[in-house]
Amino acid sequence: MDFTPTEEQTAARELAARIFGDLATHERLAAAGSGTDAELWKALCAAGLPGAVEEIGLLGLVLLLEEQGRTTAQVPFAATCAYGVLAVARHGTHAQRARLLPGLRAGTAVATGAFPAQPGVRAEERTGAVGRLTGVVRSVPWLREATQVLVADAGRRLWLVRTDDPGVRRQPVETTAPWAAGRLTLDRAAGERLGGPGVYEDVLGIVRTAWAALQAGVCAGALARVVAHTTTREQFGRPLSANQGVLLRAADAYMDTEAIRVTAYEAAWRCDQGLDAAPQTLTAAWWAAEAGTRVVHAAQHLHGGIGADVDHPVHRHFLWGRQVAGYVGGGAGLLEELGELVTGSPGLDEVRGTVERRAGHESR
């Protein structure tokens, strides 16, 4: 494995870091509310970064999302690239790519996804690759800004749904992170099939890896604020960073952040190489959920009382870290899924069902 970025990936990362650093300031983020920072999104698209993801691959996207996470920049970059650009570029037909990718590259179209597979969403397949979808998805990130949603139905088939079509209804949902989330209600809404067997698993792996990268950036940004705070704030005549307890807590958070980063790099690299990456994407998601939560809690704690101030920048990292951890899936569920994948054994729910059936049989 070689995670060394190519020249193109390095250039894209440096450009993203400059744009996010210049425009995703605390003042602008506070003023944006729960919506998209339109000027920042326009700048990213004018620089060609969403379109560049087709060339620099998932590992390149991981590098870009780290920079977004550092600043908690309020743009639908991760969602549009994972559910839109990469999903369509990798699995769309020639006609779908020609029709959908130009808008996604330019930022005139915004994509999001109703993932993972929704047991309550049913699809009635019609002629060709067209279907009618019915069901409700409680919370979809960036839904209020999206022009299209990639919906995974109960059968793990993927459908492209336009948010302005008949039978599609969006209701605002407030979450701890300002992602313009919404409740998606589908009532025989038209859906266009994307890909075939195995595509759901591939896109889910892309999404998990992308959000793990976002979490790595969120944690790195939180730690940078910890360093700035503990080295300048004094207590009893010396900096907080001189206390051994502070140093150990910060060191643990640093190691957790590096673990999230390196597992996301490995998962992305394997995806780009066309190798099986299912265990690696689950591992990256688990670290993002478990370690990411630890890091943002530690960062808030090491800021003392001001860390609980909702107007303080580190509190924003705390909220984002918690939201990303929930979005990639709970640590216990991810670990169970990874165990099933590695060992080939049934999950806990199946085991419980077997035990209950046997107990019922014996009682009779």
Q: Judge whether residue 180 has pLDDT over 90.
A: no
Closest listed residue to residue 81, CA positions, set 117, 44, 118, 116: 44
Tokens linked to 305: 């009382």
Rounded Cα distance, 65 and 69, in Å: 6
Cα separation, 168 vs 185, whole angstroms:
6
Q: What is the pLDDT of residue 355?
A: 43
Cα 103-109-114 angle, rounded to 5 deg: 130
Residue 21: count of CB within 10 angstroms of its CB: 13
CA 136 to chain centre: 21
Q: Which two tokens stand for residue 39?
A: 């000027």
Q: What pLDDT is stored for residue 232 in this prediction?
A: 81
**Do 299 and 222 meet the contact criterion of CB atoms below 8 Å apart?**
yes
Predicted local distance difference test score (pLDDT) of residue 359 = 47
Of 67-81, 177-191, 239-253, the poorest mean pLDDT is in 239-253
CB atoms near residue 51 (< 10 Å):
18
Mean pLDDT of the chain: 89
Tens digit of each residue's pLDDT (9 = 90 or more) over 195-218: 988 899 999 999 999 999 999 999
| Widest pairwise Cα distance in the chain | 75
Higher pLDDT, 350 or 318: 318
Q: Are 50 and 107 in contact (CB under 8 A)?
A: yes
Point out which residues pair with 136 in neighbouring strands. Answer: 185
Looking at this protein, which amino acid is placed at residue 269? Answer: W
The Cα 280–Cα 205 span in angstroms is 9
Please give the single-letter amino acid code of residue 162.
R
Which pTM was predicted? 0.90
Separation CA 181–CA 35 (nearest Å) = 9
**Strand 148-152 to strand 111-114: parallel, antiparallel, or no bridges (unpaired)?**
parallel
pLDDT in tens, 154-172: 999 999 999 999 999 999 9
